[in-house]
């Protein structure tokens, strides 16, 4: 129609944040410029040292990147950029030492991993024999038995404690929670001293795998209890209320409804507890004591374990013994990493089941 004013064109979409290319190229360019500037500053001033240059470059990069983001995208994205950099730095500071430790242990222990390491013992091995002679079969058996007994002792108590903490609101629950939190901070050597004083010395039972398992169960109990408590709290309250509304008693609701719904999380709590105690050495020094031969009877007699095996070998001055110790440490790290991975997988499946 004549005289009709055409509709105005829609405004161009406002660019929010950098593009994918800018998100990669801009930080690299800023880092290169800041690094070169700091290198020039260190060259013309009394400042020196690689660590100092790295810290100054990092601080300068954060400030320069934040300013550049503020100039192009505003203060909100600039603050988000700074937070992202700091969080990523914290993650790297956590991961890098772990990677370095694992790489160092792998480099030291891998040459000592042979078939005989898993099938032989040190009962007839001399201190000057090659590191490929003998093995840690006695320590592996001891670790399996001690951790198994500790799991059998701590898991039922930990789960019962978790149910009490999650379901009860009385004064006893508050006191129990305080005690469990206090147990979480107990040094492992204190647990070993407690079992040594009461079981080995006072009751004259001597060193044994059972004594080691009891000291480990003291350390495992709070981990299982607190983790299982949080898992039980994640169970939807409607399940419990529906069961109680239908006339089921409290104990049957907990046994038949709540615990089966949290089964995968409870398994995760148990696996995390096992991972917590698998590498403990201090309690074993005063309870298992150590042995170079296989002792399959955990109820009587000194018994070895992988943490104790590694500690006693590495502190030796003979190179072949040190090599065996590093091999034992590598096997122990692999065991703990497998347990943590298993816990993560079970927890992920549990979250999918709740959805």
Residue 40 domain boundaries = 20-110
Last residue of a domain, one of 58, 89, 110: 110
Q: What is the pLDDT of residue 108?
A: 92
Q: What is the pLDDT of residue 18?
A: 52
Q: What is the pLDDT of residue 14?
A: 47
The CATH number covering residue 179 comes to 1.10.3720.10
Number of domains in the chain: 2
Last residue of a domain, one of 79, 110, 141: 110
Same domain, 72 and 199: no
- Asked, for residue 29, whether it belongs to a domain, the answer is yes
Q: What is the pLDDT of residue 240?
A: 85
| Count of beta carbons in the 10 Å neighbourhood of residue 216 | 32
Same domain, 262 and 314: yes
Q: What are phi and psi of 289, to 5 degrees?
A: 75, -40
Strand partners, 303: 289
First to last CA, the chain: 58
From first to last of its 355 residues, the chain has per-residue pLDDT tens of 445 555 555 554 444 455 545 667 888 898 899 999 999 988 888 888 888 899 999 999 999 988 888 888 888 988 998 999 999 999 999 999 989 999 999 999 998 888 888 999 988 887 778 877 888 999 999 999 999 999 999 999 999 999 999 988 888 889 999 999 999 888 999 999 999 999 999 998 999 999 999 999 999 999 999 999 999 998 888 888 888 888 888 888 888 999 988 888 898 899 889 988 998 999 999 999 999 899 999 999 999 999 999 999 988 888 888 999 999 999 999 888 887 787 777 767 655 655 5
Q: What is the pLDDT of residue 350?
A: 59
Last residue of a domain, one of 89, 110, 131: 110
Same domain, 24 and 133: no
- Asked, for residue 139, whether it belongs to a domain, the answer is yes
Strand partners, 289: 303
- Asked, for residue 327, whether it belongs to a domain, the answer is yes
- For residue 112, give the nearest of 99, 129, 97 by alpha carbon: 129
């Amino acid at each position: 129609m004549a005289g009709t004013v055409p509709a105005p064109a829609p405004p161009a979409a406002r660019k929010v944040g950098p593009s994918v290319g800018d998100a990669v190229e801009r930080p690299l360019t800023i880092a290169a410029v800041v690094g070169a500037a700091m290198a020039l500053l260190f060259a013309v001033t009394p400042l020196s040292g690689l660590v100092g240059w790295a810290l100054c470059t990092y601080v300068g990069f954060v400030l320069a990147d934040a300013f550049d983001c503020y100039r192009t995208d505003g203060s909100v994205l600039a603050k988000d950029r700074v937070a992202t950099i700091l969080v990523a730095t914290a993650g790297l500071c956590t991961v890098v030492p772990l990677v370095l430790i694992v790489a160092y242990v792998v480099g030291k222990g891998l040459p000592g991993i042979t078939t005989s390491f898993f099938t032989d013992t040190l009962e007839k091995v001399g201190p000057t024999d090659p590191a490929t002679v003998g093995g840690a079969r006695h320590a592996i058996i001891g670790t399996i038995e001690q951790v198994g007994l500790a799991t059998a002792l701590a898991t039922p108590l930990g789960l019962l404690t978790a149910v009490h903490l999650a379901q009860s609101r009385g004064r006893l629950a508050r006191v129990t929670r305080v005690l469990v939190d206090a147990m979480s901070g107990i040094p492992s050597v204190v647990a070993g001293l407690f079992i040594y004083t009461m079981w080995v010395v006072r009751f004259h039972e001597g060193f044994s795998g059972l004594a080691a398992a009891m000291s480990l169960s003291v350390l495992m109990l709070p981990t299982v209890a607190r983790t299982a408590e949080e898992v039980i709290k994640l169970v939807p309250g409607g399940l419990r209320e529906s069961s109680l509304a239908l006339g089921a008693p409290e104990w049957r609701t907990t046994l038949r409804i709540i615990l089966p719904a949290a089964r995968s999380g409870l398994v995760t709590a148990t696996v995390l507890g096992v991972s917590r105690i698998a590498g403990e050495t201090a309690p074993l020094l005063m309870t298992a004591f150590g042995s170079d031969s296989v002792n399959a009877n955990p109820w009587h007699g000194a018994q070895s374990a992988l943490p104790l095996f590694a500690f006693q070998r590495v502190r030796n001055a003979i190179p072949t013994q040190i090599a065996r110790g590093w091999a034992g440490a590598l096997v122990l790290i692999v065991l703990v990493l497998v347990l943590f991975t298993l816990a993560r997988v079970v927890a992920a499946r549990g979250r999918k089941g709740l959805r």
